[in-house]
């Protein structure tokens, strides 16, 4: 008889690997990896130290959030209903100038708790003091692809310092937390980093064998200013620098020409669709249909809680699907299965982790989210994918497993003291607002 560490039985399994839904399914986990996925009847020969009766639940790959600034949970609700430039200049940048390391850690801990409770098992982050974010990821048990932000904004000395910090973070934290943390470099954007700095980032990323996480074509106003200054689009500018030669994760990608989209496709750039934050800041909707038709790998992200205002990927999946249908005035655009794939396997691919996570397959790491389908808003159940996209919420997540370890069961978080995290975050937010610039 084969022995597993954990055996989950009785649930419907949505593998997201091209196979259809497995009714009355089972998943066996050993040494952090999946050793069986299939019908419960075929798992009779598997014994386990821990058995989970998952009847009434749907097991799916853990959700992958490909663009966050997780510590910005402390800013939630502080900069509402403002255009992007005002939002940044009047509220966000002054607040960020007051942040200290402990604020970053506490904000990240709150964000990790929120993501864990809403079914996200892996996220990509770019911010300051990223070692504090790594500490929160380590304690929460989540998986993170983290990057220390690089920004110049006309100050070459600052550009050099932030590049060095980003490189040092990548060297020190790649493989941290038993391999759950990997690193990227994170130049803020083409408009906030000089061509010289961007070339250095590209060369350093190539030297370290890691990817680059950046903002791209987010604002129409910035797009026009950039084009006036350089005589080309951000995409053309970066392509001319050879910036897209490595692994690139580009968030937003709203203001793109047809040529820009072809460049992204030909260069293999991974696009992160950020529907909720883009809507809230009045920035527009990325045209995902054209990108997908060109073969671009499109993933999903929430952005930070200052501009979303949640890190709930189920909300992002829902809004992301609806916004595309509205943008194209076509209900057939972006099916439920397609958008779930963006939140799972496409997300894993965007982070360079698709051989390890993103689908429920034998040999892959056991990063699993289980959704409780006993709720009235999920009944009657005719189509699991449709229910997950159009009806489910993060609060429907019952159990979360990362690396084969149960982080939450029956909505009880095992790795963090939920109330203590919330109280500490509230205290730090209040102190931050009272702190003098």
Average pLDDT rounded to a whole number, residues 59-80: 96
Position 272 in a domain: yes
Structural contact between residues 65 and 311, judged by C-beta atoms closer than 8 angstroms: yes
Alpha helices per DSSP H over 46-100: 84-86, 93-96
Q: Kindly state the greatest CA–CA separation across the chain.
A: 69
- CATH no. for residue 264? 3.20.20.140
Residue 248 lies in domain: 63-350
Whole-structure pTM value: 0.97
Percent of the chain with pLDDT over 90: 91
431: phi then psi, degrees, rounded to nearest 5: -65, -35
Interior angle at CA 41, CA 33 and CA 29, nearest 5 = 10
Q: Is residue 126 part of a domain?
A: yes
52 plus 77 within the same structural domain? no
For residues 255 and 284, is the Cβ–Cβ distance under 8 A? yes
**In-domain check, residue 297:** yes
User: What's the CATH number where 10 sits?
Assistant: 2.30.40.10
Asked whether residue 426 is domain-assigned, the answer is no
In terms of domains, do 346 and 378 share one?
no
* 225-255 pLDDT per residue, tens: 899 999 999 999 999 999 999 999 999 999 9
pLDDT at 437 over 70: no
pLDDT tens for each residue of 123-138: 999 999 999 999 999 9
Q: Are 120 and 200 part of one and the same domain?
A: yes
| Range of weakest confidence among 97-101, 373-377, 420-424 | 97-101
Instruction: Give the pairing of strands 186-187 and 143-150.
Output: parallel
Residues 255 and 317 in one domain: yes
- From 323, 350, 377, the end of a domain falls on 350
Residue 435 domain-assigned?
no
Q: How many structural domains is the chain composed of?
A: 2
Please check whether residues 16 and 154 belong to one and the same domain.
no
Reduced to 3 states (helix: H, G, I; strand: E, B; else coil), residue 100 is coil
Percent of the chain with pLDDT over 70: 99
249 and 116 housed in the same domain = yes
Q: Are residues 102 and 195 in the same domain?
A: yes
Q: Do 162 and 279 fall within a single domain?
A: yes
Residue 96 is assigned to a structural domain of this protein: yes
What's the pLDDT tens digit per position in 387-418?
999 999 999 999 999 999 999 999 999 999 99
**Residue 34 shares a structural domain with residue 112:** no
Does one domain contain both 93 and 183?
A: yes
Q: Do residues 55 and 144 share a domain?
A: no
Predicted local confidence at residue 223, as pLDDT: 84
The 10s digit of each residue's pLDDT in 161-190 is 999 999 999 999 999 999 999 999 999 999
Domain boundary among the residues 350, 375, 405 is at 350
Determine the distance from the C-alpha atom of residue 159 to the mean position of all C-alpha atoms in its chain, rounded to a whole number: 26
Q: Give yes or no for a contact between 129 and 104, defined as CB atoms under 8 angstroms apart.
A: yes
- Of the three residues 309, 324, 350, the one that is the final residue of a domain is 350
Average pLDDT of span 305-321: 97
Asked whether residue 356 is assigned to any structural domain, the reply reads no
pLDDT of the residue at 6 = 98
Q: How many contiguous H segments (helices) and E segments (strands) does the chain have?
A: 16, 18
Tell me if 342 is assigned to some domain: yes
CA–CA separation, 239 and 245 (whole Å): 8
Q: Considering the chain, what is the average pLDDT of its residues?
A: 96
- Residue 241: helix, strand or coil by DSSP? coil
Same domain assignment for residues 56 and 95: no
């Amino acid at each position: 008889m084969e022995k597993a560490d954990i055996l989950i039985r009785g649930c419907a399994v949505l593998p997201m690997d091209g196979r259809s839904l497995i009714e009355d399914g089972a998943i066996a986990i050993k040494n952090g990896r999946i050793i069986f996925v299939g019908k419960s009847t075929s798992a009779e020969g598997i014994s386990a130290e821990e058995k989970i009766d998952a009847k009434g639940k749907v097991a799916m790959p853990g959700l992958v959030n490909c663009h966050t600034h997780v510590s910005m949970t402390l800013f939630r609700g502080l900069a509402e209903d403002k255009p992007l430039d005002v939002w940044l200049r009047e509220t966000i940048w002054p607040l960020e100038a007051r942040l200290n390391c402990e604020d970053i850690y506490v904000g990240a801990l709150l964000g990790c708790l929120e993501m864990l409770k809403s079914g996200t098992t892996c996220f990509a982050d770019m911010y300051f003091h990223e070692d504090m974010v790594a500490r929160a990821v380590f304690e929460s048990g989540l998986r993170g692809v983290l990057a220390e932000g690089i920004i110049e904004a006309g100050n070459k000395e600052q550009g050099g310092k932030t590049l060095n910090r980003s490189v040092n973070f990548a060297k020190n934290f790649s493989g941290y937390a038993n391999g759950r943390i990997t690193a990227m470099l994170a130049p803020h954007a083409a408009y906030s980093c000089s061509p010289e700095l961007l070339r250095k980032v590209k060369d350093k990323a190539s030297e370290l064998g890691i990817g680059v996480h950046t903002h791209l074509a987010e604002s129409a106003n910035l797009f026009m200013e950039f084009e006036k200054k350089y005589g080309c689009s951000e995409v053309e500018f970066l392509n001319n620098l050879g910036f897209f030669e490595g692994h690139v994760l580009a968030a937003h990608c709203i203001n793109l020409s047809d040529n820009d989209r072809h460049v992204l496709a030909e260069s293999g750039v991974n696009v992160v669709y950020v529907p909720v934050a883009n809507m809230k800041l009045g920035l527009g909707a990325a045209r995902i249909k054209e990108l997908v038709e060109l073969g671009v790998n499109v993933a999903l992200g929430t952005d930070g809680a200052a501009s979303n205002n949640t890190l709930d990927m189920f909300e992002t999946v829902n809004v992301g699907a609806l916004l595309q249908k509205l943008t194209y005035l076509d209900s057939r655009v972006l099916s439920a299965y397609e958008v779930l794939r963006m939140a799972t396997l496409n997300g894993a691919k965007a982070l360079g982790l698709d051989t390890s996570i993103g689908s429920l397959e034998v040999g892959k790491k056991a990063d699993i989210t289980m959704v409780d389908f006993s709720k009235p808003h999920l009944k009657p159940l005719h189509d699991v994918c449709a229910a997950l996209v159009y009806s489910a919420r993060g609060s429907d997540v019952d159990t979360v497993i990362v690396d084969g370890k149960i982080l939450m069961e029956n909505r009880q978080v095992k790795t963090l003291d939920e109330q203590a995290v919330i109280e500490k975050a509230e205290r730090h937010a209040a102190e931050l607002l009272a702190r003098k610039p």
